[in-house]
Amino acid sequence: MENTLLIGLSRQMTLERQIDVISNNVANMGTTGFKADNSRFQEYLMPVARADNFVGRDRQLSYVQDTGAWRDYSGGANERTDNPLNVAIDGNGFLAVQTTAGERYTRNGELQINSQGQLVTGDGNLVLGTSGPITFQPTDHDIVISDTGTITVVEGNNTKTDSIRGKLRLVNFAQMDKLQKEGTNLYSAGSAPAQPDPTSRIRQGYLEHSNVNAVREMSRLVEVTRTYQQISAILQQQGDLRKSSLDKLADVPA
């Protein structure tokens, strides 16, 4: 196959990957605490074309190589809900939760209390405090979560003394790029161990929106799709030209 077709194909493969990344961002614009992904590419010069087999500009064949994706961990806008079990995180911290696959981390602060009185995420995962899962009593009311994550309640008819039910465990990571995104807006630590986060603050009664820029992502989706179509047209033209050349070469005069 000609070099033009190979180079065009390498670009189409990376564009297809980019479309997948953008589409996932668009699909999660309404997901609480979602962090947008971005594609990363680099130039790849064909090794066998680096010597003096070619002259001038034909010496280097430049391909496009997909090297993965990077994640934008910047905070999304906070929306006030006045729900005492909604929390947003100011800073780089994550809530620690317990799942069936082990400890995971999330920025989704849309919390609730299950039938056993335990504080859980919307997917039913236990929210971890500094001393383990956080459990409420049936008579607890007037839940207050301080900016440091301490949870206090008024127990029963006691209106003078607040009872502490736990403290949200906030963690961060020295190498954020090592975090591995999983389904339902969860992250696993991978090779980046979690460490206590003393600087992030909790905002009770707020939720953090996705940090996806809707206008930018839709514009990028249109741009990448058009580029893909343009390259397809060029490759089709190259294929037609090649076929026409072979037909003429095979046309031997009688």
Global confidence as pTM = 0.80
Residue 51, pLDDT > 60, answer no
Q: What is the pLDDT confidence band of residue 39, given thresholds at 50, 70 and 90?
A: confident
Mean pLDDT score of the chain? 86
CB-based contact 61:4 (threshold 8 Å): no
Report the 3 state secondary structure along the chain. Answer: CCHHHHHHHHHHHHHHHHHHHHHHHHHCCCCCCCCCEEEEEEEEECHHHCCCCCCHHHHCCEEEEEEEEEECCCCCCEEECCCCCEEEEECCCEEEEEECCEEEEECCCECEECCCCEEECCCCCEEEECCEECECCCCEEEEEECCCCEEEEEECCCCCCEEEEEEECEEECCCHHHCEEECCCEEECCCCCCEECCCCEEEECEEECCCCCHHHHHHHHHHHHHHHHHHHHHHHHHHHHHHHHHHHHHCCCC
Residue 49, pLDDT > 50, answer no
Residue 149, pLDDT > 70, answer yes
CB-based contact 164:150 (threshold 8 Å): yes
177 by Cβ neighbours in 10 Å (0-12 / 13-18 / 19+) ranks as exposed
What average pLDDT score do residues 58-71 get? 70
Q: Which amino acid is at 149?
A: G
> 8 or 223: which carries more pLDDT confidence?
223
CA distance 96 to 173: 12
What average pLDDT score do residues 26-54 get? 74
> 249 or 118: which carries more pLDDT confidence?
118
Residue 43, pLDDT > 70, answer no
| Predicted confidence (pLDDT) per residue in 127-144, tens digit | 999 999 999 999 999 999
Could you state, in order of their start, the residue ranges of all structural domains in the chain?
3-73+217-246, 78-208
Q: Which amino acid is at 126?
A: L
Residue 3, pLDDT > 90, answer no
